Amino acid sequence: MKREKEAAAEQEEMRPVPGAAGGDTASKKGKLPERIQIPAAVEEIIRRLNTRGYEAFAVGGCVRDTLLGREPGDWDVTTSASPQQVKAVFKRTVDTGIMHGTVTVMKDHVGYEVTTYRIDGEYEDGRHPKSVQFTSDLREDLRRRDLTINAMAYSHETGIVDAFGGLEDLRAGLIRCVGDPMDRFGEDALRILRAIRFSAQLGFRIEQETWEAIGKIAPAIAKVSKERICTELTKLLLSARPEQIGQVYEAGISPYISQRFCQVDVGRLKAGGQDRGWPEIFSQLPARKHLRWAAFLLREEEAAAVEILKDLKLDNDTIFRVRTLVRWSDRPIPARKADIRRAMSQMGTELFADLLLLRAGEPGVEELKGSAGEILEAGDCISLKTLAVTGKDLLEAGMAPGKALGEELARLFDLVLEDPGENRKEILLGRLSFRKGLTERLDESQKPGGCAAESLSEDR
Ligand code: ATP
Ligand code: MG
């Protein structure tokens, strides 16, 4: 009974939107559905917790995204049950962050994070709360969340629980902190980057007070780990508005990410200048990590680009790809097919195609694309793998193993890049340099008056 009364009071205070069926998901601002679709597994988790007498809701990003008609990346559940109680309800669980109240419930090999309502304690270092305290009050749990649009909960039974004006901000397209933005950013400065990232992902404006707080608290970003910063910057670059990475600079936080990062010339990269602007470059790029990072760093020196990426702890594969693309980003566009084949073989066909995307719109790139297509269609050899001779062939032809053999193979490969018609075993074996003198003399001997036997003996 007490629980019912409390729940009723809670609902009133939290401005719930009754769970009336029939609202369809709408992605347009101002037209938000009242009932949202939740995956069957999440529904079941909530129902089973409810059956045992606990409150449970889908919460945070999944509610925000579903209301906007976007596909949520993950579904999180918040509950009044303690981690031990959650573990007692479900057969398969993983202790993901039990100290912080999180248990992952496994359903059909998919994990759903179920976290006990909690209040975050004091933040020690702008990174982690020193302690967390469990609570039975959903409102307290929503209060610890960063942005109003991320602080809503939902269940079919209760509908949307919106304690901090998240729905209004979703409708208005606003990014706003829950509570005092100075305090919230002070507790965890990553929230600054999350605010900018969501603004880019959703096309929302950052509300004035929140924006001003970002400017004031900017140095606190230095306390955030590079990995967390990198995750946010990557999400921003992969968003529908990657050029909004400019906001990171406008907000004044870039010097606290790294000195080198701060020096990226973002002014030059605005649309309308002599150089092609970011919006233009980004608009033709698929949302792939290395492409978006390469576009961002396109006009940097290769060494600077690598320094920035290493400092942000990006993975080696991405660093390699970005580095290659940046290296080739201002090289003259080759006109001869032989040089195009050389470029393709050096970069690999995949990165070469990426380079065409990055440089689309530059003079000569359309023609380059046409020629590259013809090269691929013709099946020209652009990789050592399809060279008509192998190291083994050269050994059999009498070459000694070692460095010279590798150099010889590279030389033959270059002959083939120049003229793909050369890519036949008998031709290439005839072009071996240690046989060159022999071949020339053999040719000579076939002329009238020549002496093959003499040449051969000399060669031996
Ligand atoms: P996405 O999954 O698209 O990256 P998200 O908002 O769902 O965005 P998650 O990391 O999945 O982000 O976090 C789930 C929820 O946890 C958030 O919606 C928010 O309510 C809360 N949250 C996440 N990070 C923070 C933070 N640094 N400070 C406060 N609350 C946070
Ligand atoms: Mg999420």
Which residue's alpha carbon is at the smallest distance from atom 30 of ligand 1? 145
Quick check: 154 and 63 in contact, CB under 8 A? yes
Q: Which ligand is nearest to the CA of 183?
A: 1
Average pLDDT of the residues in 102-120: 95
Ligand 1 proximity of 34 Cβ (cutoff 6 Å): no
What pLDDT sits at residue 128?
72
SS3 state of residue 20? coil
Spacing, Cα 118 to ligand 2 middle (Å): 17
What pLDDT sits at residue 11?
36
Ligand 1 proximity of 141 Cβ (cutoff 6 Å): no
Average pLDDT of the residues in 158-166: 96
Task: In whole angstroms, give the CA distance from residue 299 to residue 265.
Answer: 8
Which residue's alpha carbon is at the smallest distance from atom 12 of ligand 1? 61
Task: In whole angstroms, give the CA distance from residue 13 to residue 9.
Answer: 6
What's the pTM value of the predicted model, to 2 decimals? 0.85
Spacing, Cα 40 to ligand 1 middle (Å): 22
% pLDDT > 70, the chain: 85
In Å, how far are 59, 88, 94, 187 from 181, measured between CA atoms? Answer: 21, 38, 34, 10
Q: Which backbone phi and psi does 311 adopt, to 5 degrees?
A: -60, -35
What pLDDT sits at residue 129?
79
Ligand 1 proximity of 232 Cβ (cutoff 6 Å): no
Average pLDDT of the residues in 374-390: 97
Between 279 and 404, the more confident residue is 404
Written as six digits, the tokens of 443 are 């040719």
Ligand 1 proximity of 183 Cβ (cutoff 6 Å): no
Instruction: Report which of 231, 210, 220 is spatially closest to residue 189, judged by C-alpha positions.
Output: 220
Residue 460 has pLDDT above 70, yes or no: no
Task: In whole angstroms, give the CA distance from residue 65 to residue 149.
Answer: 9
Residues 6+ apart with CB under 8 A from 397: 429, 432, 435
What pLDDT sits at residue 16?
34
Task: In whole angstroms, give the CA distance from residue 345 to residue 373.
Answer: 14
What pLDDT sits at residue 132?
86
Residue 450 has pLDDT above 50, yes or no: no
Ligand 1 proximity of 290 Cβ (cutoff 6 Å): no
Lowest-pLDDT range of 202-206, 237-241, 274-278, 416-420: 274-278
Average pLDDT of the residues in 352-369: 94
What pLDDT sits at residue 4?
39
Beta-strand relationship, 56-59 and 152-155: antiparallel
What pLDDT sits at residue 172?
97
What pLDDT sits at residue 317?
98
Mutate to test the pocket of ligand 1, among 57, 104, 146 (most ligand atoms within 8 A of CB): 146
* Confidence tier at 267 by pLDDT (50, 70, 90): confident
In Å, how far are 151, 208, 213, 283 from 203, measured between CA atoms? Answer: 19, 16, 20, 15
Task: In whole angstroms, give the CA distance from residue 369 to residue 301.
Answer: 25
- The label of the residue with tokens 């920035």 reads 308
Quick check: 355 and 329 in contact, CB under 8 A? yes
Between 402 and 280, the more confident residue is 402
Residue 5 has pLDDT above 70, yes or no: no
Lowest-pLDDT range of 22-31, 211-220, 282-291: 22-31
Q: Which residues pair with 118 in a beta bridge?
A: 134
Beta-strand relationship, 110-116 and 76-79: parallel
Spacing, Cα 113 to ligand 1 middle (Å): 12
Spacing, Cα 18 to ligand 2 middle (Å): 24
Which residue's alpha carbon is at the smallest distance from atom 26 of ligand 1? 146
Which residue's alpha carbon is at the smallest distance from atom 8 of ligand 1? 61
Residue 232 has pLDDT above 70, yes or no: yes
Burial letters 91-105, b for 16+ CB under 10 A, else e = eebeebebebbbbbb
Give the chain's radius of gyration (CA, Å). Answer: 31
- Atom from ligand 1 closest to the CA of residue 191: 27
The string of pLDDT tens digits covering residues 7-46 is 333 333 333 333 322 333 334 455 777 789 999 999 999 9
Task: In whole angstroms, give the CA distance from residue 197 to residue 61.
Answer: 13
- Atom from ligand 1 closest to the CA of residue 146: 29
The string of pLDDT tens digits covering residues 318-349 is 999 999 999 999 999 999 999 999 999 999 99
Task: In whole angstroms, give the CA distance from residue 61 to residue 67.
Answer: 10
Residues 6+ apart with CB under 8 A from 442: 452, 455, 456
- Atom from ligand 1 closest to the CA of residue 76: 14
* Confidence tier at 82 by pLDDT (50, 70, 90): very high
Which residue's alpha carbon is at the smallest distance from atom 15 of ligand 1? 60
What pLDDT sits at residue 19?
30
Between 17 and 258, the more confident residue is 258
Spacing, Cα 195 to ligand 1 middle (Å): 11
Residues 6+ apart with CB under 8 A from 174: 148, 149, 204, 205, 206, 207
Average pLDDT of the residues in 436-450: 48
What pLDDT sits at residue 1?
35
Spacing, Cα 233 to ligand 1 middle (Å): 15
Residue 360 has pLDDT above 80, yes or no: yes
What pLDDT sits at residue 199?
98
SS3 state of residue 329? coil
What pLDDT sits at residue 269?
58
Task: In whole angstroms, give the CA distance from residue 30 to residue 27.
Answer: 9
SS3 state of residue 78? strand
What pLDDT sits at residue 453?
31
Ligand 1 proximity of 187 Cβ (cutoff 6 Å): no
Mean pLDDT in the chain? 87
Task: In whole angstroms, give the CA distance from residue 120 to residue 457.
Answer: 89
| 432 Rama sector, left if φ>0, alpha if ψ -120 to 50, beta otherwise | beta
Burial letters 362-386, b for 16+ CB under 10 A, else e = eeebeebeebbeebeeeebbbeeee
Residue 444 has pLDDT above 80, yes or no: no
